[in-house]
Amino acid sequence: MLDHSNTDNTIYDIKNSKYWDKKSLYAEMNRVYDICIGCRLCFNLCPSFPSLFNSVDGVGTKKREIAEKEGRVEKEIIKDNFLDLPEGEHASEASIEVEFRGEVTDLSDSEKWEVVDLCYQCKLCDPVCPYTPGKEHEFQLDFPKLMTRAQAIRTKERGVKINDHLLSRTDLAGKIGSIFAPIINFLNRIKFLRWVMDKTIGIHANRKLPEFSGDTFQKWFSNYKSIVNNPIDKVAIFGTCFTNSYDIDLGKAAVRILEHNNIECVYPPQQCCGAPYLSPGDFDGFKKQTSPNINELNNWVNQGYKIVVTGPPTCSLTLKKEYPDYLGLNEKIKNISENTFDISEYLVYLNKEKKLKTDFKNSLGTINYHVSCHLKAQRMGFKGRDILRLVPDTKVNLINQCSGMDGGWGMKSEFFDESIKVADRCVNDLNQKEHDTVCSDCSLASHQLKQASNGEMNPSHPVIELYKAYGFEKN
């Protein structure tokens, strides 16, 4: 009998030697899995939980099949009415069936590790789970951190896989892509070359890759002449590697809106936030990647600037939460964590301070707003929706369903099909309500939804829609 309250192996400090002990990991996996099997609140979230529940239920089914073959029990008859059973037989039948219940200790190693592999760190289980440290429960269950720990231990044993290695080199890919954008974008559409990529580096042949821009947001900003007289606040924009190399228009729109609201903008030297290194638990790579960002961003915070993230919410989540969790909460990291805002979050903050201009020129009609998982994980509410609702004659429907992309996970050969299955559910939900526009704070989720809908859906970003509402697109 597993003791769910025994947290001796609930270790998430990567400097603790026990964190890296595989026996300790397996003990914690068994404890957490057993709690999840008994709860099942997360049955409809990421593929990890259905995998776990189906595996343990499958074990129970096999036990009963063996007992039937041995003649210990008769073939199961599914009843839909138990009211006609003689007194006492309800308990008798139930006690027999307990023998055929699957237990976490019955699972094979491959079944346990499949749960790890199918976790793409959406972190949706954390706000749902009633047993987390945040809810001050004695079980201290942190499923996402357990999955990262498992990945880290396995990566330490076998090394970083080639697709994880390549997917974490976002800055290098951006530099090359900005120079050779037309050529690379063309080559990425050739089926034979995509087949070769699938077989050699593990990027699925059917995954449509984001197209590189011929420019970068960094280059655009360096040539941009900002004019803000008497600024009411000042921000350092963390553009993210995605905005910098693929979604430059989002960065431009963010700057225009911020400056319209008398916010001084700077774009400091920066590189990828480091999130792709956490997927395989490559903490050495994560530390090396993040060090320049920490020093640079801390300097701007010390000068009174807030950090505003314009790209996927994964990046703001990483700066706010993953830096403290995996690098330690020193003064620099604390400064960054406490002064980082997602762009929609910052605009709502300005509005609450009565500093946001609402001189909108255009309404936006009806918007189906997709909730990004990594904004939900930040527990800030639905800021993209809130900022869109400020626009007159605009209706915003909240669509609360994961897109299943998670950056690199959805690009990998082994997980692409599962990724699209999740996205199909999201597309279906988005299409349930009539709309003029689909909107998401996550550029990668938008990319995923466009592919899953066969191009019928091309989600915008709240900031792009706000840009239209202000009437800037006509200037």
Distance in angstroms (rounded) separating the CA atoms of residues 441 and 444: 9
The pLDDT of residue 91 is 46
CATH of 365-474, one of 3.40.50, 1.20.120, 1.10.3470, 1.10.10: 3.40.50
Q: Is the predicted pLDDT of residue 322 greater than 70, yes or no?
A: yes
The pLDDT of residue 90 is 47
Strands (E) across 162-309 are located at 233-238, 263-266, 306-309
- Buried b or exposed e, range 138-147, using 16+ CB within 10 angstroms: ebbbbbbbbb
The pLDDT of residue 408 is 86
Distance in angstroms (rounded) separating the CA atoms of residues 395 and 389: 7
> Closest by alpha carbon to 390, among 443, 353, 436, 347?
347
Q: Is the predicted pLDDT of residue 94 greater than 80, yes or no?
A: no
Higher pLDDT, 440 or 78: 440
8 A C-beta contact, residue 263 and residue 233: yes
pLDDT one-digit tens code per residue, 218-266: 999 999 987 888 899 999 999 988 999 999 999 999 999 999 999 999 9
8 A C-beta contact, residue 201 and residue 165: no
Q: Is the predicted pLDDT of residue 92 greater than 50, yes or no?
A: no
* Matching fold, domains 217-352 and 365-474: yes
CATH 1.10.10 describes domain 217-352: no
Q: What is the mean pLDDT of the chain?
A: 90
Domain layout of the chain by residue ranges: 17-158, 163-201, 217-352, 365-474
pTM for this prediction: 0.88
Q: Is the predicted pLDDT of residue 473 greater than 80, yes or no?
A: no
pLDDT one-digit tens code per residue, 109-163: 999 999 999 999 999 999 889 999 989 999 999 999 999 999 999 999 999 998 8
The pLDDT of residue 77 is 57
Angle, CA of 351, 356 and 361, to the nearest 5°: 120
HSE-up (13 A, CA, CB side) for residue 277: 20
Give the residue-averaged pLDDT of 372-399.
Answer: 93
Q: Is the predicted pLDDT of residue 168 greater than 70, yes or no?
A: yes
